[in-house]
Amino acid sequence: MRPDATPDPAPGRQPETAHAIVTHVPRIVDAVAVDARPVVLIDGRSGSGKTTLARALAAAIDGAQLVRLDDFYPGWDGLDAGSAMVVADVMRMDDPGWRGWDWNVGRPGTWHPLDAARPLVIEGCGALSRASRALATFGVWVELDAPTRKQRALARDGEGYAPYWDRWATQEDEFIAREHPRSLADLVIDETATASGRVGTQPQ
Parse the chain into domains and list their residue ranges: 15-70+117-203
Distance CA 150, CA 133 (A): 27
Q: Rounded to an integer, what distance in angstroms lies between the CA atom of residue 123 and that of residue 8? A: 15
Architecture of the domain whose range is 15-70+117-203: 3-Layer(aba) Sandwich (3.40)
Determine the pLDDT at residue 9.
Answer: 39
User: Taking Cα atoms as reference points, which of 86, 166, 164, 183 lies closest to residue 125?
Assistant: 86
Residue 201 confidence (pLDDT) = 55
pLDDT of 102 reads 95
Other residues' Cβ atoms within 10 Å of the Cβ of residue 115: 12
Q: Which of 139, 93, 137 is nearest to 115 (CA)?
A: 93
Identify the H or E element spanning 202.
strand 201-203
User: CA-to-CA distance for 161 and 32, rounded, in angstroms?
Assistant: 35
Mean pLDDT, the chain cut into blocks of 10 residues (204 residues total): 42 51 88 96 93 94 98 97 99 97 94 98 98 98 90 80 88 98 96 55 55
pLDDT digits (tens, 9 = 90+) for 130-169: 999 999 999 999 999 998 888 888 888 777 788 888 999 9
DSSP state of 86: I
C-alpha span between 137 and 134 (Å, rounded): 8
pLDDT value of residue 155: 83
- Triad 24, 171, 59: Cα angle to 5°: 25
Q: With contact defined as beta carbons under 8 Å apart, do 200 and 194 qualify? A: yes
The CA–CA distances, whole Å, from 143 to 44, 74, 90, 115, 185 equal: 6, 24, 24, 30, 12
